[in-house]
Structure 1
Amino acid sequence: MASLMNFKECIAICNFDYLPEGLEAKFNRYTPDNNSQLIPRAFLSELFESYQVPESLQQRLVAGIEEIEQDDVLFHFTKFLVEDLCSVRDRCDETPYSNMTPGCMKQYGDLYSFLLLLACVVPSMNKLERRNVPKAYYEQIPHQPLKLQLEKLALHGDPKVHDFPWVMNFYTCSIFLLDRFYFIPYQFGDPFTMFRQMNTREVAALRHAGEEFRSDGQRNGINDVLDLQGSFTSEWDENDTFIIANRINPMGFVERETTPIFKNEWERVLEPGDTLLALHIPSGAGYTPERVKNSMMMALEFYDRYFPELSIKGFWSSSWLYDTRLSLILDNEKSNIVRVQQQFYNYPTLDGDGMLRYEVFGDWKADPVGSPGELTTSLQRAAAEYMRTGARFNTLSMVVLREDVPQIGNMPYITDADKEQFLRTVDSHLSNLSGRAQQDR
């Protein structure tokens, strides 16, 4: 009966407190299976034994699963969610999944989000096995969040899933650790196009029209800092012969002066909609250009072999570590942070310095200037001193095109001229703000 119900009927009965937009069309294409179990009991038994899950927690989890399975409509809809979750990352689908609780579950609804993710493990592994991916690449991936979740349940009885969109990558075996870094497919969507000069092989990223930037080449309003006097708007003029647009300097800012390129001399190598591999940085040692290069080479080989349908154009990532302002306060020859960011084509985003405050000072809203507390590391002291001048850090993104990976270590994008222009441009908006403050007084 449940399989004959339409989407609206199902969600009315399930009564979820949250569902992402865009599921109805997927649900209408879903072909239900005849599996009578949401999670295979053999898998559960192995899990319970491996983690020595207390008997009371085992009973609670099984009871939660059975409550889902015994509700025909909820069971049907949950199996649909599992199938979608297991393929969403491979499709570079940005469906905003998060914690969800069905109101129709009267006893164990608080377990639903965790059980939904747990139900993804076996089918995800089966999919990878059908692709002939060796188990060594994925058999431990789900256990990273799973171990912590079970410990939290056993010690505190807390079933809430922390950072659902991130940990679902692990439960669905969609993310892979290759040498030092994690990789997962990502659809590029930022408003610029990258070109390569056919003879010199130089790469230029040209920003699309209509975005407002401060005089320092960062988005106007980033960190709530507006540059009313020195701001400019990006341009894009194109005809059959040339394109004239604002170049993104690979040091991570947009240049005010436009750059012309002749279309018969430059080829498009990256544009919105293309597939990249998102690089994620786990904590620990080994954050070096050499490990970045090795990890990227391994990732390209892995995805080309086991996911040949994905046309991987290169790599993307976003982090406080890519903020080239860090090169102003760190030793450029010795700092791995600087050495790594200089291998990338960095570009500005709409994200400010919240990530840096969290990673360096321990709180997204930390105020190392107004409430400095104890600054114990050289990075903390240097960053705080820089911020005392009124300057702010930013979160930048980066791109590395696949054909440039072998050149990592030799700065494939950044030139001495780019660095010099960065030094002339960085924080130039502060003089405009200072001048306006003088006028206001």
Structure 2
Amino acid sequence: MGVNREMAILMNFKECAAICSFDVLPEGLEAKFNMYTPNNNSELIPRTYLSELFESYQVPNHLRQRLVEGIEEIEQNDVLFHFTKFLVEDMCSARERCDETPYSNMTPGCMRHHGDLYSFLLLLACVVPSMNKLRRRSVPQAYYEHIPHQPLKHQLEKLALYGDPKVHDFPWVMNFYTCSIFLLDRFYFIPYRFGDPFTMFRQVDTREVIALRHAGEEFRSDGQRNGINDVIDVEGSFTSEWHENETFIIANRINPMGFVERETTPILKQEWERVLEVGDTLLALHIPSGPGYTPERIKQSMAMALEFYDRYFPELSIKGFWSSSWLYDTRLSLVLDNEKSNIVRVQRQFYNYPTLEGDGMLRYEVFGDWKADPVVSPVELTTSLQRAAAGYMKAGARFNTLSMVVLREDVPRIGSMPYITDADRERFLQTVDSHLPKRTGRIPQE
């Protein structure tokens, strides 16, 4: 027996999912589906928008036909159409809700002819409703009209030239199709819910900031998580502590040079205010390639981002900024010119801290492969950064991916190192690579 639109709307999550027969669905959708109010849209993607898109990109006729047939196959299956409209609504609001639902490529088994197009069409269906949401917030069109076209242009070219509909890095490009990420001056920004196990405090008089790690995590003697890069420190490891009563907190301080200190630090609670806790909202900063990676542009972009989100998303209560990158690894300051290198100059403006990620990102960004190993399999070293990084690794050391935080109150101080002191830098030099059998030390700079 067939299912009409009215029957589809009455179905529960499990019934819809069973009929659609997806190869994979993100976890946590059922509760959202139960709260979903179906809309009466008769088109998954407005045909006027689709026509404008086809004309703008001069999409060849055979591809136009293929895409329209794929859309119609979804629309003509009432259960799949109903469920897809739910997915679109959830995806369009996920980022501003700081929802980390792990969306990825998905194929409904009920699509017999164009199932391979589904992931792309699902993303494409997010563009118009996302823009409408921003329009209702009175966000000027100039902020979002070009956002979806960064991945869209590449996707249409790939389809036209090779017939390949696969979506590369679905979670990342979803930010663009849903118009959730904004380029403000030099950097991209998107809301992010802070979830790392530490709390930041500000001294009420001096305005100094300190981050204290939560209890129960194991660190090497160099203050990095034990086991990073498969390097385990058996003899020198320590476990973070947190002791608190009505008067004080005693815990392991995160040195803003990006490592956890072995010795605990006490603070009097009446002298320090909590300024960042798990669950607070930050803006995640993403770094597009190109020139302008400087403290000045970081400061300018962050100031613009705060103004933008305060005006158009006032409900978010932004506490500051977060990011994770190989660029923040303070070990790079051992091999690069500390006065001239923008990498070092920028990371000195952040409160850096260790993560569970090793040096895969650096290997990819610097040497072109996530598993590149200039020690075992020498590669051609054409840049000073490649030579510096390879020299450090050949000496037996490894890099890490670090994260950073900048609190909103400290944005005006970017350029003058709002968190890192000379004492922090000295302690870093005393601690870095202390877990290695033969301490690496500073590599001569070129």
Q: Give the TM interval when normalised to the shorter protein.
A: over 0.9
Counterparts in 2 of 1:337-348, with a 5 A limit? 337-348=343-354
Aligned to 1:185: 191
Q: Secondary structure at the match of 1:380?
A: helix
Once the two structures are superposed, residues 123-173 of structure 1 have per-residue CA deviations (whole angstroms, 9 ceiling, x without a partner) of 000000000000000000000000000000000000000000000000000
- Select 1:330's aligned residue among 333, 336, 339: 336
Report % sequence identity.
Answer: 86
Question: How many Å separate the matches in 2 of 1:86 and 1:120?
Answer: 6
Question: How many Å separate the matches in 2 of 1:52 and 1:393?
Answer: 46
Please tell me the residue identity of whatever aligns with 1:185: P
Aligned to 1:408: 414
- Select 1:131's aligned residue among 109, 134, 137: 137
Aligned to 1:439: none
Q: Secondary structure at the match of 2:111?
A: coil
Aligned to 2:276: 270
Q: Following TM superposition, by how much is the alpha carbon of 1:431 offset from its aligned partner in structure 2, in angstroms? A: 2.8
Question: How many Å separate the matches in 1 of 2:129 and 2:314?
Answer: 20
Q: Following TM superposition, by how much is the alpha carbon of 1:66 offset from its aligned partner in structure 2, in angstroms? A: 0.1
Question: How many Å separate the matches in 2 of 1:433 and 1:263?
Answer: 38
Aligned to 1:6: 12
Q: Is the 2:226–2:237 contact (alpha carbons within 8 Å) kept by the matching residues of 1?
A: yes
Please tell me the residue identity of whatever aligns with 1:284: G
Structure 1 gaps, min length 5: 435-441
Q: Following TM superposition, by how much is the alpha carbon of 1:392 offset from its aligned partner in structure 2, in angstroms? A: 0.2
Q: Is the 1:212–1:220 contact (alpha carbons within 8 Å) kept by the matching residues of 2?
A: yes
Please tell me the residue identity of whatever aligns with 1:277: L
Q: Is the 1:230–1:432 contact (alpha carbons within 8 Å) kept by the matching residues of 2?
A: no
Q: Is the 1:102–1:109 contact (alpha carbons within 8 Å) kept by the matching residues of 2?
A: yes
Q: Secondary structure at the match of 1:304?
A: helix
Q: Does residue 305 of structure 1 match 2:311?
A: yes
Q: Following TM superposition, by how much is the alpha carbon of 1:347 offset from its aligned partner in structure 2, in angstroms? A: 0.1
- Select 1:288's aligned residue among 294, 301, 306: 294
Q: Does residue 80 of structure 1 match 2:86?
A: yes
Q: Is the 2:88–2:126 contact (alpha carbons within 8 Å) kept by the matching residues of 1?
A: yes
Q: Does residue 66 of structure 1 match 2:72?
A: yes
Please tell me the residue identity of whatever aligns with 2:146: Q
Please tell me the residue identity of whatever aligns with 2:300: N
Question: How many Å separate the matches in 1 of 2:321 and 2:38?
Answer: 36
Tell me the number of residue pairs that the alignment of Structure 1 and Structure 2 aligns. 434
TM-score, scaled relative to structure 1: 0.98
Question: How many Å separate the matches in 1 of 2:124 and 2:57?
Answer: 14
Aligned to 1:393: 399
Q: Secondary structure at the match of 2:73?
A: helix
Question: How many Å separate the matches in 1 of 2:83 and 2:438?
Answer: 56
Q: Secondary structure at the match of 1:398?
A: strand
- Select 1:261's aligned residue among 267, 288, 313: 267
Aligned to 2:177: 171
- Select 1:350's aligned residue among 343, 346, 356: 356
Q: Note closer, same or farther for the CA distance 1:289–1:36 as it changes in structure 2 (3 Å cut).
A: same
Aligned to 1:236: 242
Aligned to 2:429: 423
Flag as ranges the 4+ runs of structure 1 deviating above 6 A: none
Question: How many Å separate the matches in 2 of 1:98 and 1:17?
Answer: 11
Question: How many Å separate the matches in 2 of 1:121 and 1:398?
Answer: 31
Q: Following TM superposition, by how much is the alpha carbon of 1:372 offset from its aligned partner in structure 2, in angstroms? A: 1.3
Question: How many Å separate the matches in 2 of 1:141 and 1:130?
Answer: 17
Q: Following TM superposition, by how much is the alpha carbon of 1:373 offset from its aligned partner in structure 2, in angstroms? A: 1.9
Once the two structures are superposed, residues 208-244 of structure 1 have per-residue CA deviations (whole angstroms, 9 ceiling, x without a partner) of 0000000000000000000000000000000000000
Q: Following TM superposition, by how much is the alpha carbon of 1:432 offset from its aligned partner in structure 2, in angstroms? A: 7.6
Once the two structures are superposed, residues 349-403 of structure 1 have per-residue CA deviations (whole angstroms, 9 ceiling, x without a partner) of 0000000000000000001111112111111011101001110000000000000
- Select 1:46's aligned residue among 46, 52, 56: 52
Please tell me the residue identity of whatever aligns with 1:405: V
Q: Secondary structure at the match of 1:226?
A: coil
Aligned to 1:92: 98
Question: How many Å separate the matches in 2 of 1:59 and 1:290?
Answer: 49
TM-score, scaled relative to structure 2: 0.97
Aligned to 1:438: none
- Select 1:19's aligned residue among 22, 25, 29: 25
Q: Secondary structure at the match of 1:431?
A: coil
Q: Is the 2:433–2:439 contact (alpha carbons within 8 Å) kept by the matching residues of 1?
A: no
Please tell me the residue identity of whatever aligns with 1:298: M
Question: How many Å separate the matches in 2 of 1:404 and 1:193?
Answer: 17
Please tell me the residue identity of whatever aligns with 1:247: R
Q: Secondary structure at the match of 1:26?
A: helix
Q: Is the 1:368–1:384 contact (alpha carbons within 8 Å) kept by the matching residues of 2?
A: yes
Please tell me the residue identity of whatever aligns with 2:205: N
Q: Secondary structure at the match of 2:436?
A: helix
Q: Does residue 319 of structure 1 match 2:322?
A: no
Aligned to 2:4: none
Please tell me the residue identity of whatever aligns with 1:222: I
Q: Secondary structure at the match of 2:310?
A: helix
Question: How many Å separate the matches in 2 of 1:430 and 1:145?
Answer: 43
- Select 1:34's aligned residue among 19, 40, 43: 40
Please tell me the residue identity of whatever aligns with 2:221: S
Please tell me the residue identity of whatever aligns with 2:67: L
Give the stretch that moved more between structures: 13-22 or 424-433: 424-433
Q: Does residue 146 of structure 1 match 2:179?
A: no
Please tell me the residue identity of whatever aligns with 2:384: S
Question: How many Å separate the matches in 2 of 1:368 and 1:399?
Answer: 31
Question: How many Å separate the matches in 1 of 2:276 and 2:408?
Answer: 11
Question: How many Å separate the matches in 2 of 1:6 and 1:305?
Answer: 39
Counterparts in 2 of 1:152-163, with a 5 A limit? 152-163=158-169
Q: Note closer, same or farther for the CA distance 1:296–1:253 as it changes in structure 2 (3 Å cut).
A: same
Q: Following TM superposition, by how much is the alpha carbon of 1:433 offset from its aligned partner in structure 2, in angstroms? A: 9.3
Structure 2 gaps, min length 5: 1-6, 441-446
